[in-house]
Amino acid sequence: MNQILGQSEVGQFLTQVMERGYFPWILIVGGIVICSVVKSVTGAIVGVARERTRREIAAYIAEGNMSPEQGEKLMKARAEKC
């Protein structure tokens, strides 16, 4: 079986990381990276949801189920919450 890193190599790597004092830095940098990724994904999800809401309001107005004034009120109320 051909492995890139064996268990002993991983153990040696972790030992060197601990001995040289890199572990706190790895935790800090890793935490920053994870927070950045989560923030980006959250922003993308919120943006998609906001656009979907705008499309649904536009569809209700186009169908005649809602007046343009009502749609405008909904959009303004949504903008004030954010």
The answer, as to whether pTM is greater than 0.75, is no
pLDDT in tens, 7-33: 688 888 888 888 999 999 999 999 999
Report d(CA 68, CA 76) in Å as an integer: 12
User: Region 58-70: what's the mean pLDDT?
Assistant: 95
pLDDT exceeds 70 at position 82: no
pLDDT exceeds 80 at position 79: no
Report d(CA 59, CA 38) in Å as an integer: 32
User: Region 43-68: what's the mean pLDDT?
Assistant: 94
**Burial class of residue 62 in the structure, from the number of CB atoms within 10 Å of its CB (0-12 exposed, 13-18 middle, 19+ buried):** exposed
| Residue 11 structure tokens | 């153990």
Local confidence band at 2 (pLDDT 50, 70, 90 cut-offs): very low
